[in-house]
Amino acid sequence: MKNNNIIIAAISLLLLITSNSCQEKFLDVKPSSNWKAEDFYANEAEAYMALSGIYGVLAHDDLYGWNFNVLMEGGTDESYTNDGNNTWGASKYEHTSSNDEIKNAWLKFYTCIQLVNLFEVNLEPSMFSTAEYNRLLAKARFYRGFCYFNLANWFGPVPLRLTPSYSQEDNNIAPSPVKKVYEQVETDLLFAAEHLYHSKDASYVPGEPNKMAAHGLLARLYLRMGGYQPYLEADDASCYFENNQQYFEQAKQQCNIVITDGWHDLTPASVDSDSYRNHFMSYLQDYYDLKESLFEISFGNLEDIGIHVSGRLGNINGVEFVGTLDIPRGFCKINAALPLYYKYSAEDKRREWNIAGYRNKYSTSAQGFIMGYIFDMPLHQEYAPGKFRRWEPVDMDALKAAGSIPGAEYVILNNTPGSATDANYTSINFPILRYSDILLMYAEASIGGRFGSQSAASDAVECLNKVRERAGLEPYLGSTAHDDFFNEIVDERLRELCFEGLRKQDLIRWDLLEDKLKETNNIIRTDPSYVSNNQYHQTFLTAGNSFNRSKHLLLPYPLQEVQINQQLDQRTGW
């Protein structure tokens, strides 16, 4: 199913992109196809082909393949880059408005939106029943809401395009206020929640949007609307929406819809002691764990037939395995940050899954690959995230005892067809929304976010404890006073959801990014293994040293967009 969908996605993009008014010059070439947007979307096959094309944009390298969810997420208390070269600027707050990663993320989100707008305008209602027509629109609007939510979070006010762009003149649209963009996201997701299949329905296709995923993203939206709004800071106004506490109640209601529905759940440690690991193995092995996963971005490794839609999860951010052309290659361009290491207790079952703590480094000596155990060396230059690991040692206990073993045996975990024979590209799915996030959002909404006043009630503590139980931890026995419980949520979201593309926006909506970067650098500098002239240790400090609050809570508008859109003025400081 997954591979078929992505083949269709590639084909549909070739068909539909001729109608998309992107600004890349190569798109000005006269199309060889006779397809026209107004003649498309006329039957079920074409409608599903178009939806797969929209989905395929999200699965591109520039978005959830690795650029947006890995590179641009670096620079928090969760992760930082070890690349000391003049690269990975966005993860070190050394980016400019002309950085490719920023330009490409903007372009791909708007490409997705353009395809949705074409779909919405040209879908032929007479060819479908009312229910099916609304369901098709709901899938498309789910994607559009998701894209605009990301654009507003990262860029602030952005052009709100709800109709297709057909000419250069259509690009000249002023940015809309963030609240207006969020309201459009709300409209799209409410429509999706009403008309999509539930993931337990017989007709539901795993990997597609579904009803509870829409409710979950609405909860995420309302939490964001209740939180800190960085673009307002420059206007010397309140940095929160008026009556912002109302949004926390709405977030709680949306989470409660998912919770009381009863379909989604976590497998507790008392039933499956490896529940956390086993859930993430489902992403590695192309299996949809629909109980815990509400929505994920699917990938198929089709490089061998020339279709470039695969991701690089477990490669760019993977456990190091380099030195030859062999698989399973991993580059560890992003390190698990030192604060994350210290947030875990030794009994937390998530600890050694989320932080791999081992590597396989090729030596020019006759020994070849030398596997090393580095879990208790968190300032090591290849201290990799483990959540999307492609491989692991066969005998971890022996590696722990020895410290390093030349030529130690390993097993490939991401061994689905294609990924098992490709050094760089993988089929590993990326989680967008999991049930544990629903539980933690409910707990946070219940106390009104960072600046609420409510103490944690028993239902909020219960949600937190469900997440802790699955991790093998004792119930939370700390203070339920607002500030204490909020701080526990901040830490628990780090422990549970690390490397899932959420931490930076979490810290921004709490107005804690600057504080956590300072804290991270202080922890690094005071760690016993810190060496002031170690080049990697200095690179780890770059994000905290370079961060400028007046600039870096939002991304600059891409340079080429400011040049093309005559109504889009660059943000101050860029």
From first to last of its 574 residues, what are the pLDDT tens digits of the chain? Answer: 344 444 344 444 444 443 343 433 333 334 444 556 666 677 888 898 899 889 989 999 999 999 999 999 999 999 999 998 888 999 999 999 999 999 999 999 999 999 999 999 999 999 999 999 999 999 999 999 999 999 999 999 999 999 999 988 898 999 999 999 999 999 999 999 999 999 999 999 999 999 999 999 999 999 999 999 998 876 656 899 999 999 999 999 999 999 999 999 999 999 999 999 999 999 998 899 999 999 999 987 555 555 566 789 999 999 999 876 667 889 999 999 999 999 999 999 999 999 999 999 887 776 788 999 999 999 999 999 999 999 999 999 999 999 999 999 999 998 776 677 788 888 899 999 999 999 999 999 999 999 999 999 999 999 999 999 999 999 999 999 999 999 999 999 999 999 999 999 999 999 999 999 999 999 999 999 999 999 999 999 999 999 999 999 999 999 999 999 999 999 989 9
CB 383 within 8 A of CB 316: no
Q: Which amino acid is at 305?
A: I
- Which stretch of DSSP H or E encloses residue 515? helix 513-526
CA-to-CA distance for 286 and 299, rounded, in angstroms?
8
Give the angle 290-294-298 at the CA atoms, nearest 5°. Answer: 80
CA-to-CA distance for 430 and 364, rounded, in angstroms?
35
CB 314 within 8 A of CB 284: yes
CB 63 within 8 A of CB 108: yes
CA-to-CA distance for 223 and 408, rounded, in angstroms?
47
Find the length of the chain.
Answer: 574
The residue ranges of every structural domain in the chain are 304-428
pLDDT of residue 308: 60
How many Cβ atoms from other residues are within 10 Å of residue 233's Cβ?
16
pLDDT of residue 1: 39
- Nearest residue to 297 (alpha-carbon basis) of 425, 432, 418: 432
Q: Strands of 363-408 (E only): list them.
A: 369-373, 391-393, 404-406
- Nearest residue to 113 (alpha-carbon basis) of 141, 153, 72, 152: 141
Cis-peptide, bond into residue 328, ω within 30° of zero: yes
Give the angle 422-428-429 at the CA atoms, nearest 5°. Answer: 150
CA-to-CA distance for 425 and 318, rounded, in angstroms?
11
pLDDT of residue 85: 87
Coil, helix or strand at residue 452: coil
> Any idea what DSSP says for residue 360?
E
pLDDT of residue 30: 42
CA-to-CA distance for 77 and 94, rounded, in angstroms?
17
CA-to-CA distance for 147 and 550, rounded, in angstroms?
25
How would you label 141-170 residue by residue, b for 16+ Cβ within 10 Å and e otherwise?
Answer: bbbbbbbbbbbbbbbbbbbbbeebbeeeee
Place of tokens 């992109």: 17
Q: Which two tokens stand for residue 331?
A: 């580059």
Side-chain half-sphere of 71: how many Cα atoms within 13 Å? 25
pLDDT of residue 366: 67
- Nearest residue to 137 (alpha-carbon basis) of 59, 220, 47, 214: 47
